[in-house]
Amino acid sequence: MKNRIEQKFDLLKNDKKAAFVAYVCGGDPTIDKSLEILLSIDKAGADIIEIGIPFSDPLADGVVNQMAASRALNAGTTVPHIIDLIKSFRKHSQTPLVIFTYLNPIYNYGYERFHQDASIAGADGILTLDLPPSEESINEELCHAKGLLPIRIIAPTTPKARISQIAESGLGFIYYVSREGVTGKQTNLAEGIQEQILSIKKLTDLPIVVGFGISSPEQSKDVASMSDGVVVGSAIVDFISQNQNQANLNELVHDFVKPLADASKSD
């Protein structure tokens, strides 16, 4: 039986639509509000939701996502809280969930145990930012983890030979980082996205989703037109930050995300 991520991309392919993927940091600004935010994003039209595990040293993230991780940690969020958050979400929705993390938190939890517990809770995939597939494959203790599809990252600077190696070890989809540097909103899309996607597609049949810097409905539409999916993260996280004390935060998040999701499906 196919994983929820694979099923979702099959449905989207049949409809000739791109996936809208939304990222938020789990536990930001609190665990209770985080669940409400996830459900609001789901209702707004997200096809896949990425849940970040807050980490004290998120080196691949820009200031917006760093501050989100800090808020979540200050609110007492732990790895078990994220697993419980996934369990709570699954009581309401079957939208695919991808865990977005660094190695340290899940290694400390127990690498194999984390994969088992998160999978049982209802997560579908995992993207570990600082774990190269080549390192994973030569560490015996990391090879036994099952249950979550390994989502791989490819950057503009990744050599073709390495793209092929990365793609072979991945499942679900490929996350193409559209620009060098850390995460964050950008006023313009990076150049050469379409050419890079076409180049990657020659080496893998996995869907290609594009992230890093996409922050407006117009950008969402443009990227969706040339890829299998678009990821919006920092723009949503920044919106949460600006409105975290509002009583109707979940409604505000829904209204912010919906135009981004709708744009990814427009012709």
Of 81-85, 210-214, 258-262, least confident by mean pLDDT is 210-214
Strand order in the sheet with 97-101: 149-150, 125-128, 97-101, 48-52, 19-25, 229-232, 208-211, 174-177, 152-154
- List pLDDT tens digits, range 222-235: 999 999 999 999 99
Rounded distance, CA 17 to CA 37, Å? 24
Q: Which of 24-28, 164-168, 194-198 has the highest mean pLDDT?
A: 24-28
Which candidate in 42, 61, 124, 228 is catalytic?
Answer: 61
Cβ-based burial of 243 (10 A; exposed 0-12, middle 13-18, buried ≥19)? middle
Q: Which tokens go with 49?
A: 């939701």
Q: Strand, coil or helix: what is 153?
A: strand
**Residue bearing the bigger pLDDT, 188 or 40:** 40
Share of the chain above pLDDT 70, in %: 96
Of 10-19, 82-91, 177-186, least confident by mean pLDDT is 177-186
Question: Would you state the pLDDT for residue 187?
Answer: 52
Average pLDDT of the chain to the nearest whole number: 93
Q: Where are the beta strands (DSSP E) in the chain?
A: 19-25, 48-52, 97-101, 125-128, 149-150, 152-154, 174-177, 208-211, 229-232
Q: Is the pLDDT of residue 96 over 80?
A: yes
Question: Which neighbouring-strand residues pair with 125?
Answer: 98, 149
Q: Is the pLDDT of residue 188 over 80?
A: no
Specify the pTM.
0.94
Q: Which residues contact 225 (CB under 8 A, 6 or more apart)?
A: 18
Domain residues for the domain of 57 are 4-265
Q: Is the pLDDT of residue 77 over 80?
A: yes
Q: Which tokens go with 56?
A: 């004290």
- List pLDDT tens digits, range 112-165: 999 999 999 999 999 999 998 888 888 888 888 889 999 999 998 888 888 988
Q: Is the pLDDT of residue 202 over 70?
A: yes
CATH of the domain at 150: 3.20.20.70
Q: Strand, coil or helix: what is 24?
A: strand
228 included as an active-site residue: no
Which candidate in 6, 42, 47, 50 is catalytic?
Answer: 50
What are the distances in angstroms from CA 166 to CA 121, 133, 145, 193, 194?
27, 7, 18, 19, 19
Rounded distance, CA 235 to CA 198, Å? 26
How many domains would you assign to the chain?
1
pLDDT band at 212 (very low <50, low <70, confident <90, very high): confident
Tell me which DSSP letter residue 47 carries: S
Rounded distance, CA 140 to CA 122, Å? 25
What's the Rg (C-alpha) of the chain? 17
Rounded distance, CA 105 to CA 213, Å? 25
pLDDT band at 101 (very low <50, low <70, confident <90, very high): very high
10 included as an active-site residue: no
